[in-house]
Chain A
Amino acid sequence: MKVKATASPYLLWMALFIIIPLGLVAYFSVTDRLGNFSLENYRASLAYSPVIFNSIWLAIIATVICLILAYPLAYNFSRKSANHQRTLILLIMLPMWMNFLLRTYAWMTLLENNGLINRFFGLFGLGPFEMINTSGAVVLGMVYNYLPFMILPLYSVMTKIDHSLIEAAQDLGCNSIQVLKNVIIPLSMPGVTTGVTMVFVPAVSTFVISRMLGGGSNMLIGDLIEMQFLGNAYNPNLGSALSMVLMVIILICMALTNMFEGVEEKEGMLL
């Protein structure tokens, strides 16, 4: 029996709170300040393509780092007892319950040239290392803020990987790398896709992080869009056009990622 009706409240919700606002954004993006039709905003957003690529590039790096960090961790968690799993998962989420701004300030305190990390290294006569106001610091900020959203989906998929499958593979003569490649990774693929989506997508459109940890001299697309809405000139039209462009690019990226997942399992691939 296949129940589809349970999705109907969501579909209604979606139509009201996602499609209509999106329509508003689309409408704004093709009008000028006076409300006349114009494609000027899209033309103008072309000029910012380096900023867009820059953001995508950083988000890709952050996503890859998150995946590499989270994968063994999630696997580890999934092999622990149920109580431990629960505690560990909450421990992963707890830092995210502190305010984002305060966490970022704290990173500034840690990374600065007179910061705690450099002072620690100073005790051994090392450094100071230049950490803050670099692109590395921006990536670190992204990894820090989105790592839990990689760990969680990976973990929730891995808990249900049947341990006997792994044992069977071992009995059949697989070494641990082969087990990983032929059993664990394919079985955890749905979690990987979800995790990558949840990290990559918000990381592309992030702002504040680049401003606070990156020194503000290298704009990301999120900062640029924010500036259209809350900058000197209230320019929601250009901001909307920029975010439409961003959305299309991300959907293309997602389609590419979904290809890794194998053809049958594709989801969210309109393009």
Chain B
Amino acid sequence: MKQNFRLFFCWAAITVILLSSTLTPAYAFEPKDQNYYERFQGKGISISVYNWGEYICNGGDGLMNVNEEFTKLTDIKVNYTNYATNEELYAKMKSGGSNYDVIFPSDYMIARMMKENMLAPLNHENIPNASYINPLFHDNSYDPGNVYSIPYTWGTVVIIYNKNKIKEPIESWQVLWDERYKNEILMFSNSRDAFGIALKALGYSLNSEDPKELREATDLLKEQKPFVQSYVMDQIFDKMEANEAMIAPYYAGDAISMMESNEDLAVAFPKEGTNLFVDAVCIPANSDNQEAAEMYINFLNEPKVAADNIEYIGYSSPNLAAFDLLDEEIQNNEIIYPSMEILEQSEQFINLSDETNLRMDQLWTEVLASKGSFLSWGFAPVVTILALFATKNWMKYNRRKKRKRMVDE
């Protein structure tokens, strides 16, 4: 299927809207079903939403303040707090100490939470706007049929590089192993993303659980270490924009924002395929307000709301009606909405077995702790000095004790 993805997108959007328009009036921010949103008015309900930072539109620049509008419309109060990583979210949810109603985990984390019964199955009747979701995201490998989750954003991992310094076209992940770019390469500092790239470079699946393949990936990552300037996450933004490094893997939507600050940057999709990530909205199993939470999810999928959110976040939208509301420039952007060909090659993360997760962490520590430790210089002298001090003080201590005993006598 070599069809342009944008065309597919538009076509799909039109079909879905035509279909859904038989049930509901056309999309606009005026909610299609006022009664639906007014059900909880005057009941003093509040929901707790737990989201990534900077991951919802908070007004300004002509966009809406999503949480405020929701409260205005439904009279449901929103307690909004943030987390920084999937793992923090997991650790917090696992303790069971707090009740959240809406959370936004990523693909593999959704699968893990599903496995551990931490999520509530959604009542799709309460989320009519889910019909806007692109059919491409109906059968995600982490949650087939979107039983527990409604996709919120998606994107791919791309190679971002400085085209002034790297003239030749980039085709493969192998470029991150190129000796010519020694000390100009940035690499992910989290194990799952780093191993994903190494596995892809070797031609294996991102989700490989085969110890032999993981071993190979580890060796490859160790091989890369001398060329890597630093292992980073969000520092990539500043380092790439300030021309501190030449090349780095990162998320497509963020690459666009880097390119806005530095015109020399460009993006490449490696031929081995890449990671397609999805962040989705879920309801924890211990939520007390599932219906209100579902209303919130439905609201997030109102075309205008979803469009404003996606404009704010800068990632790609799975919501077709929202896609239609975006600027043509964004719709045509092949980095944010890559061709079907690229999408077909890419793979989603799924949850790995506990065993593999543990092994991966161990192997990653092995990579990071391998040689070049700070110990190489001057460890021996320090130990000697400390030992000398210790013995000296020990002798002093004994002497004083003796003296004291003598005085006592």
Interface size on B, residues (CB 8 A): 48
Q: Does B243 lie within 8 Å of A114, measured CB to CB?
A: yes
Within 8 Å of chain A (Cβ to Cβ): is B286?
Answer: no
Within 8 Å of chain A (Cβ to Cβ): is B339?
Answer: no
Q: Nearest Cβ distance between residue B336 and chain A, in whole angstroms?
A: 27
What's the Cα separation between A75 and B105 when bound, in Å?
53
Chain B residues contacting A256 (CB-CB under 8 Å) are 386, 389-390, 393
Surface stretch bound by A, among B166-174, B308-316, B365-373: B365-373
Q: Nearest Cβ distance between residue A36 and chain B, in whole angstroms?
A: 15
A 44-60 contacts with B by CB, 8 A: 48, 50-51, 53-54, 57-58, 60
- Place the interface of chain A in its size category: 35 or more
Chain B residues contacting A105 (CB-CB under 8 Å) are 235, 238
A 179-213 contacts with B by CB, 8 A: 211-212
Surface stretch bound by B, among A12-20, A82-90, A217-225: A217-225
Within 8 Å of chain B (Cβ to Cβ): is A259?
Answer: yes
Question: In the complex where A57-B374, A217-B228, A218-B373 touch, is A232 in contact with B361 (Cβ < 8 A)?
Answer: yes
What's the Cα separation between A114 and B401 when bound, in Å?
59
What's the Cα separation between A54 and B368 when bound, in Å?
13
Q: Does A216 lie within 8 Å of B368, measured CB to CB?
A: yes
Within 8 Å of chain B (Cβ to Cβ): is A147?
Answer: no
B 362-395 contacts with A by CB, 8 A: 364-365, 368-369, 372-375, 378-379, 382, 386, 389-390, 393-394
Chain B residues contacting A114 (CB-CB under 8 Å) are 242-244
Question: In the complex where A48-B365, A133-B229 touch, is A108 in contact with B382 (Cβ < 8 A)?
Answer: no
Chain B residues contacting A233 (CB-CB under 8 Å) are 354, 357-358, 360-361
Within 8 Å of chain B (Cβ to Cβ): is A135?
Answer: yes
Surface stretch bound by A, among B86-94, B270-278, B287-295, B299-307: B86-94
List the A residue with the shortest CB-CB distance to B112: A234
Chain B residues contacting A51 (CB-CB under 8 Å) are 365, 369, 373
Q: Nearest Cβ distance between residue A49 and chain B, in whole angstroms?
A: 11
Chain A residues contacting B239 (CB-CB under 8 Å) are 112
Chain B residues contacting A108 (CB-CB under 8 Å) are 235, 238
Q: Does A217 lie within 8 Å of B372, measured CB to CB?
A: yes
What's the Cα separation between A43 and B361 when bound, in Å?
17
List the A residue with the shortest CB-CB distance to B367: A217
B 216-269 contacts with A by CB, 8 A: 225, 228-232, 235, 238-239, 242-244
Q: Does A57 lie within 8 Å of B360, measured CB to CB?
A: no
Within 8 Å of chain B (Cβ to Cβ): is A156?
Answer: no
Chain A residues contacting B390 (CB-CB under 8 Å) are 256, 259
Within 8 Å of chain A (Cβ to Cβ): is B189?
Answer: yes
For B239, B354, B374, B390, the residue with the greatest tally of chain A CB atoms inside 10 Å of its CB is: B374
Q: Nearest Cβ distance between residue B359 and chain A, in whole angstroms?
A: 8
What's the Cα separation between A1 and B243 when bound, in Å?
68
Question: In the complex where A234-B90, A259-B394 touch, is A112 in contact with B242 (Cβ < 8 A)?
Answer: yes
Within 8 Å of chain B (Cβ to Cβ): is A159?
Answer: no
Within 8 Å of chain B (Cβ to Cβ): is A27?
Answer: no
Q: Nearest Cβ distance between residue B208 and chain A, in whole angstroms?
A: 14
Q: Contacts A114-B242, A215-B229 given; 11 further ones with Cβ under 8 A?
A: A57-B375, A60-B382, A109-B238, A114-B244, A212-B235, A229-B91, A232-B87, A232-B352, A233-B357, A259-B393, A263-B397
Show 6 A/B contacts (Cβ-Cβ < 8 Å), sorted by A.
A114-B242, A215-B231, A233-B358, A233-B360, A234-B87, A263-B401
